[in-house]
Amino acid sequence: MTETASSLYDRLGGYDAISAVVSNLLPRLASDEQLGRFWSHRGDDGVQREKQLLIDFLCHNAGGPMYYTGRNMVVSHRGMQISEDDWKRFIGHVHDTLDHFKLADAEKGDVVGFIESTKSEIVEA
**pLDDT category of residue 107 using cuts at 50, 70 and 90:** very high
Q: Is position 8 within any domain?
A: no
Which CATH number covers residue 59?
A: 1.10.490.10
Please write down the long-range contacts of 83-87, taking CB distance under 8 Å and 24 or more positions apart.
83/123, 83/124, 83/125, 84/123, 84/125, 85/34, 86/34, 86/35, 86/123, 87/119, 87/122, 87/123
Pairwise CA distance, residues 86 & 5, whole Å: 35
Name the average pLDDT for the chain.
Answer: 94
Q: Which domain holds residue 43?
A: 13-122
Is 1 among the domain residues?
A: no
In a domain, 6, yes or no: no
Number of domains in the chain: 1
Q: pLDDT tens, 47-104? A: 999 999 999 999 999 999 999 999 999 999 999 999 999 999 999 999 999 999 999 9
- Confidence (pLDDT) at 3: 47
